[in-house]
Amino acid sequence: MKTTTFILVSLLTLNLYSQTETDLEKERIYNIIKTIDNWYNMGYIRFENYTETWHIKGKNSNELKKNYSKENYTKYVIDRITKIDTLNLLTNTYYQTLLKRLDRNDEFNEAMILTNNKFGNMINSFLVQRSRMDGIPAFWPEANIFLESNKNMSDSDYVEWHKERINIDNTNSAVYKIFYGEIGFSQGTAEGGHGDYHLFKIVFLKEDGQWKIDNMFIEEQTKEDAIKFYDENVERRGYFKD
């Protein structure tokens, strides 16, 4: 009997330790996303599809507009990407890949370089703003029915919402996965799909005990897969339960 009790206690303790350790790892990954999100939102270039023009957005946009005209927005983006390694958030492989992507002749912004996808042109952030959480336009085209509850969400619940979207595959790799429609504006596709069904992913690798970003990309998925992923998200928050 004592042996059985000891085994049960040991298993519970091990499980609790595993859960706690996983939560700590997710916290570390969340802080990395928060850091690069803050970097991005200090001042970034974004395309406005209704005017078909590029603009500087973000906290420092007014100051940046004094130093950068529309004619040299590309130079601003190149300067930012070139210096992004000073954040110490990226693997060297990913950083070197970003530098190679800068060798292009079209207009682009930071998110297009980071994701290597044209849809990066209208990305507003990497963390989801409260007003956009679970309010995918493709599912709720008239109004986000979760807007009010999102506004009243505590800071800790806001962080937890993001941590739940981080999946640690093993001790050395992880993926942060959200809908593109939660951080970027709706865009169509040549195949007739809906941009809101796309996923935005950040891939992490652990190097020398430290999590680092190894890739960012926008991934197209079918409507059926999008609905499945969406249902999993809203079910996790307890929506539509009796």
Residue-level pLDDT, tens digit, the chain, 242 residues: 555 554 555 544 545 445 688 899 999 999 999 999 999 999 999 999 889 999 999 999 999 999 999 999 999 999 999 999 999 999 999 999 999 999 999 999 999 999 999 999 999 999 999 988 988 877 777 778 888 888 899 999 999 999 999 999 877 999 999 999 899 987 765 455 556 688 999 999 999 899 999 999 999 888 889 889 988 888 877 765 54
Q: Considering the domain boundaries, does residue 20 fall inside one?
A: no
Q: Is residue 242 part of a domain?
A: no
Domain assignment of residue 204, yes or no: yes
Q: Which tokens belong to 215?
A: 């890739």
Q: Which two tokens stand for residue 103?
A: 């060798």
Residue 68 lies in a domain: yes
Output DSSP code: residue 189: -
In a domain, 149, yes or no: yes
Six-digit token pair at 126? 């990497």
Under 8 Å between Cβ of 121 and 108: yes
Residue 226 lies in a domain: yes
Classify residue 120: in a domain, yes or no: yes
User: 119, 179 in Cβ contact below 8 A?
Assistant: no
What is the model's pTM? 0.87
Count of domains forming the chain: 1
3-state secondary structure at position 178? strand
**Beta bridge pairs of residue 184:** 123
Domain span at residue 117 reads 25-236
Amino acid at 189: T
Helix H segments across the chain? 2-41, 61-67, 73-83, 92-101, 110-115, 147-151, 155-163, 223-236
Determine contact, residues 226/200, Cβ cutoff 8 Å: no
Measured distance CA(128)–CA(169) in Å, rounded: 22
Instruction: Evaluate whether residue 1 is within a structural domain.
Output: no
| Residue carrying structure tokens 């996790």 | 236
Q: Which CA distances in Å does 33 have to 29, 151, 204, 223?
A: 6, 21, 10, 27
d(CA 184, CA 40): 14
Those residues whose C-beta lies under 8 Å from the C-beta of residue 180, and which sit 6 or more positions away, are: 119, 123, 195, 196, 197, 198, 199, 200, 218
Question: Residue 220's closest CA among 185, 194, 202?
Answer: 194
Given the structure tokens 């796309």, which residue do they identify?
198
